[in-house]
Structure 1
Amino acid sequence: MFRDVFWVDGMKLRRSVVWPVIVLVPIFLSVVGVNNYAEHRDVFRGENLLGWMGAWTQVVFLYGTVLCPVLVGVYAGLINRMEHMGGGWKLMLAYPITRTHVYLSKVLWVWLLIGFTTVMMFVSFWVIGWLYDVEGSFPLKTLSWMFVKGWLASLPLSALFTWVSIQWKNFGMPIALNIVFVLPNVFIINSSMGRIYPWSQPGYAMTPSDRLEYVPTDEHFFWVVIISTALFLAGGIWHFHRTELKG
């Protein structure tokens, strides 16, 4: 049953604007970040940050700290917007499917869309860095692990903003709320709170450890992701079961 719900949600996304976003946003951010690195090589040389990791510090600020958390809200809003229009919720919930399956399907799709974006970010960064002739060999293993952790760190937000987007019919409200909580990231990510603040976790996970004041162990990171995801899933499913959706 879950597989059917998941497949239907995927079919609804086929012609969504989400796919151009997944392709174009990583390319844009890579060009902006790597270009900034290339134009200020002398500064990075003075900080001993020449090479791929130096270039990545410019991209991760744009993607991990700002855009990744915002995109979670955008994707969650898009995948639930179809149900909010034209009586979609009543039609969907009239079928013999459980609300738990509906909720989990949407969370998984939001998370997968972030995963696709992260893969595109990885590829775009490598290609743009190569075009800009970034120094040194590409740190495949290190960057791959950072990208995987960043994707995992987006799971709690995927659960949270699926919850929010289901409750709010207005597409812009969840995104606006998300932006409000993203703004403090500039300060929180360099504090101990960055390890547990959901909006900071993607950027925290993808930032080189030598650029962080507080470096959590992988075990601590996984526990934070597991616990916060479980809390948001439980709260979202509980509330979804008790909400009368009129859309």
Structure 2
Amino acid sequence: MLRSVAAEWPKLRRSRMGLVLVSLPVVSLMIGCANFVMNREALEGGWYSLWTQVSLFYGEFFLPILIAICCAFVCRLEHANRNWNLLLAAPVSTASLFMAKLAVVGVLIAGAQALFLLMYWAAGQMLSMTGDFPLDIVMWTFRGWVASLSIAALQLGLSIRIRSFATPIGISLCAVFAGLGLYVLKLGLLFPYSLLTIGMGVLTQRGLTPAENLLFFLMNLLYLLLLSAWSIRRMKYCAAA
């Protein structure tokens, strides 16, 4: 497993993943801060009001797209010259190969989440936010990362079987709107993209009760296991495709 993870990192060298990981959080934060400044008189919640503006763009749109891009990147080399055949011929289980890719995506998204949290704090300082920095924001960022793993398991399955780089990203964007609809219908726990909305407190800053919090993590674990099993099964047939 560790050898498989180590083998994934060189594939990202000379790519522009670093630029993507930085630019999307920066752009979403800038848009959110601009909205906050223009509507500051009506937004009286301090740190929480700032979060409503920046997380709406980042958590609802930019982060799912970022996850899809990361998944497409870690599968791009294998699609070139039918390299799936070589990869699957290695003396490593298919599950280990998939989990290595998922781990790499998880680390990349964790870095993006940490960067976004740091920039959010810096923006709050620049905008002279009053009061202490709310620890709820840290929890929302962590839950967003947990939900990202479930989405990554799905997106990897798509990127494994779809040669096009852009198609899985387009599917992710469509899934975002489907997740938003399910969230509005109070069915957010039934779809990974809705879980991201719930986890990051994008549309409501109401804290989850202990029971809701437990259910959130259990549903993400369920989706992670099911979607990983589905993606591993798809990977097994790549050589024959």
Task: Provide the TM-score with structure 1 as the length reference.
Answer: 0.89
Which residue of 1 is the match for residue 215 of structure 2? Answer: 220
For the structure 1 residues 208 and 243, does the alpha-carbon distance in structure 2 shift closer, same or farther, using more than 3 Å as the test? closer
Question: How many residues get paired?
Answer: 240
**C-alpha contact 1:80 1:166 (8 A) present in aligned 2:** yes
Counterpart Cα distance in 2 of 1:214 and 1:192: 14
Alpha-carbon contact 2:48-2:205 (below 8 Å) kept: no
Closer, same or farther: CA 210–62 of 1 in aligned 2, 3 Å: closer
Ranges in structure 1 where 5+ consecutive residues have no aligned partner = none
Is the aligned partner of 1:183 residue 2:177? yes
1:7, distance to aligned residue in structure 2 (A)? 0.4
Establish whether residue 53 from structure 1 lines up as the match of residue 25 from structure 2.
Answer: no
Q: 2:218 aligns to what SS in structure 1?
A: helix
Taking the aligned partners of 1:223 and 1:83, their CA distance within structure 2 comes to 32
- 2:61 is equivalent to residue 62 of structure 1: no
CA displacement 1:121-178 (0-9 Å, x = unmatched): 1011111221122232211x21111111110011111111111100011111111111
Task: Select which of 78, 82, 86 maps to 2:81.
Answer: 86
Q: Which amino acid letter does the alignment assign opposite residue 152 of structure 2?
A: S
Quickly say closer, same or farther: Cα 1:243–1:84, change in 2 above 3 A: closer
Partner of 2:14: 15
Cα distance change on mapping 1:167 and 1:109 into 2, 3 Å: same
- Tell me if 1:169 matches 2:163: yes
Contact kept, 8 Å, 1:118 with 1:147, in 2: the verdict is yes
Structure 2 gap segments, 5+ residues each: none
The residue number in structure 1 matching 2:200 is 206
Q: Kindly report which structure 2 residues correspond to 1:30-179, keeping only aligned pairs within 5 A, or say none.
A: 30-45=29-44, 50-139=45-134, 141-179=135-173
Could you tell me whether the CA contact under 8 Å between 1:27 and 1:125 is conserved in 2?
no
Name which of structure 1's ranges 74-83 and 93-102 shifts more when overlaid on structure 2. 93-102
Q: Following superposition, which runs of at least 4 residues in structure 1 exceed 6 angstroms of deviation?
A: 213-216
Q: What is the TM-score normalised by the length of structure 2?
A: 0.91
User: What fraction of aligned residue pairs are identical, expressed as a percent?
Assistant: 25
Residue range with higher mean Cα deviation, 95-104 or 72-81 = 95-104
More divergent stretch after superposition (221-230 vs 196-205) = 196-205
